[in-house]
Amino acid sequence: MTGRVLAILMGVMLLTITLFPGDVVLAAVSVQYTKEATFLQSCGLFKGRDTGIEREKQATRVQGAVMLVRLIGKENEALNGKYVMPFTDVPTWAVPYVGYLYHQGLTQGLSTTRFGTNERLSSKDFMTFMLRVLEYKDNVDFTWSTSLTKGVETGMLTIKEGTVYQTKSFVRDDMVHFAYRA
C-alpha cells in the first residue's frame, strides 16, 4: 500500500509541475530585498504589472533591459527615440528599451536577429549589463563568464553572493538587489 500511495503522490506532483511549472518551482522562492525594492519603486525604477511586482518570479531578458534603461535614467529618451535594432522577437512595448540598449552598445542579443525577450535572465547576464553601463569593457575588463567575479571586485556583490549567484536561479528580487547595489 505504501508503494501505491507514493506512486499516486508522485503522479500528482508530476502532473502539477507539468500543468503549472513556474508556479510550483517559484513557490519555494523567498524574497528578501523588500527595502531595496521599496526604494527602487519610490524612484520609479522598479515597476510591476497589474498583478504586482512579482519579485519571486523568474527574471526575463526583457525585464532586465527595462530595469537597466530606468536605472541609468534614460527611460524618457528611450521612449521618445526611434532606435533601429535587428531583433524580431521584441514585443512592441519593449522596442524602445531594447532598441536604446542596442543603439548604446549595451546589449547584443542571443543572435543577430533574436534578443531572447522571454528567455531567463541569469545573474551573469544582468551583471554584464551593469558592468557595461559602468563602462567596463567586454573581453578587456571582464567576460560574461567572469562577470560575477568582476561584480565582487567592484563591490556590487559580496564574495559569498558571487559564489551563490553562480548557480542560483535569478529572480526579479535578485535583479532588485543587483540594481540597488550598483
Burial string for 153-167 (b: 16+ CB within 10 Å, else e) reads ebebbeeebbeebee
pLDDT in tens, the chain (182 residues): 444 433 333 333 333 333 334 433 434 457 676 677 666 666 666 665 555 556 677 788 998 898 899 889 999 999 999 998 999 999 999 999 999 999 999 998 899 999 999 999 999 999 999 899 899 999 999 999 999 999 999 999 999 999 999 998 888 888 888 888 87
Q: Rounded to whole angstroms, how far apart are CA atoms 83 and 44?
A: 23
Burial string for 35-66 (b: 16+ CB within 10 Å, else e) reads ebbeebeeeebbeeeeeebbbebbbbbbbbbb
Quote the pTM value: 0.74
Residue 3 corresponds to which cell in the numbers above?
508503494
Q: Residue 11: how many CB atoms within 10 A of its CB?
A: 10
Which element (helix H / strand E) includes 13?
Answer: helix 2-19
